[in-house]
Amino acid sequence: MPTALFFRPNTDLALSYGKEWLARGIEEAVKRGFNVIDLVDEACTFDTLKNMLETERIDVVILLGHGNANVFTGFEQQIVFEACHNDQIMSGTISHFVSCLIGQELLPSIIEKKGIWTIGYQTTFDFMIDPPEAVEPFSDITLAVIAAILDGGKLKQAWDAGIAKGEEWKTRLWNRSETWCAEVIQLIDKDIHGMVGLGDKEAYVLTPRKMALSPQGLIGLAALFWFLISRGA
């Protein structure tokens, strides 16, 4: 079965929300039959991520953390990636980064190092938490991108899923009278226009269902069926 790796540090208020958003992504991965590796808090370091990418076959990587144009950080803001340094371990991966600004330099560097494709933000990723329902659109945008990747979407399909979910929320909030709704609409608009997708436009994650229907998967099922029939005889 394909494997999805989630990277979820939780060392401040902003990351505590993102950690829960990625937990929703984990639920969707499990529903779809993915194996899940969940790196949480102290495990969110370069060394742990490097070890996982080198010792396990990882099909998709979903990462949460703080960032700037050329740096992505994990637990307690320890540096995980810098553009042109450490990012080579992302070679061969499809990934989504929930982090500010890294679309400017770090994500292009990852693609130069043979990352397959990646989605992230070239602007700050801002969201509201008061009132509590104000955070829901940003959680949904993140989940929409993750779900599209897990469903075997190509780069533009996953990117479009995030944009579409943001536009959906803007429409839902447009006629509401609460002042926070106007602020959320502005943030949604900024975030989705700051989302970038880079890399191979035709590649996609081979989902559990697609694996089962592949020639190799069908041969395996036929062999299992024959084995069971033979035992019954």
Interatomic CA distance for residues 41 and 148, integer angstroms? 26
Cβ-in-10-Å burial (0-12, 13-18, 19+) of 164 comes to middle
pLDDT band at 214 (very low <50, low <70, confident <90, very high): very low
In angstroms, the Cα distances linking 72 to 47, 67, 195 are: 14, 4, 16
Kindly report, residue by residue over 218-232, the tens digit of the pLDDT. 455 445 455 445 555
Q: What pLDDT does residue 218 have? A: 41
Residue 68 has pLDDT above 70, yes or no: yes
Omega before residue 131 within 30° of 0, cis:
yes
Does domain 3-232 match CATH 3.40.50?
yes
Predicted TM-score (pTM) of this structure: 0.89
Interatomic CA distance for residues 176 and 182, integer angstroms? 8
Interatomic CA distance for residues 159 and 24, integer angstroms? 18
User: What size, in residues, is the chain?
Assistant: 233
Beta bridge partners of residue 196, listed in sequence order: 120
pLDDT band at 210 (very low <50, low <70, confident <90, very high): low
pLDDT band at 84 (very low <50, low <70, confident <90, very high): confident
SS3 (DSSP) at 112: helix
Kindly report, residue by residue over 16-40, the tens digit of the pLDDT. 999 999 999 999 999 999 999 999 9
Q: Are strands 79-82 and 71-73 parallel, antiparallel or unpaired?
A: antiparallel
Kindly report, residue by residue over 194-208, the tens digit of the pLDDT. 999 999 999 999 998
Interatomic CA distance for residues 181 and 108, integer angstroms? 34
Q: If you average pLDDT over every residue of the chain, what do you get? A: 92
Q: What pLDDT does residue 224 have? A: 41
Task: Give me Rg for the CA atoms of the chain.
Answer: 19
Q: What pLDDT does residue 231 have? A: 54
Kindly report, residue by residue over 109-162, the tens digit of the pLDDT. 999 999 999 999 999 999 999 999 999 999 999 999 999 999 999 999 999 999
Scanning the structure block, which residue is given the tokens 């989504």? Answer: 96
- Residues 4 and 38: beta-carbon distance below 8 Å: no
| Percent of the residues in the chain that have a pLDDT greater than 70, as a whole number | 90
Interatomic CA distance for residues 22 and 33, integer angstroms? 17
